[in-house]
Amino acid sequence: MKEKKKIILTCSECLSRNYVTFHNNSSKRIELMKYCPKCNRHTLHKQTK
């Protein structure tokens, strides 16, 4: 069984680090539409290193 890795999601517009989550598959970078409190709307959030 694979170990879950902690990943950080960053807003693509304002570059604030908003979300921390765990994920099994670390081969691809995750991109999700999430709410950004700083931008005050839903934006694309990408996984950071």
pLDDT of residue 27: 76
The DSSP call for residue 21 is E
Residue 17's domain comprises 5-47
Contacts of 8 (CB under 8 A, 6+ apart): 17, 19, 20, 47, 48
Question: How many domains would you assign to the chain?
Answer: 1
The answer to whether residues 18 and 37 touch, using CB atoms and an 8 Å cutoff, is yes
When pLDDT is cut at 50, 70 and 90, the band that residue 1 belongs to is low
Q: DSSP for 26-47? A: -SS--EEEEEETTTTEEEEEEE
CATH number at residue 17: 2.20.28.120
pLDDT in tens, 2-49: 788 899 999 999 999 999 998 887 678 899 999 999 999 999 999 997
Q: What is the pLDDT of residue 20?
A: 93
pTM across the whole model: 0.81
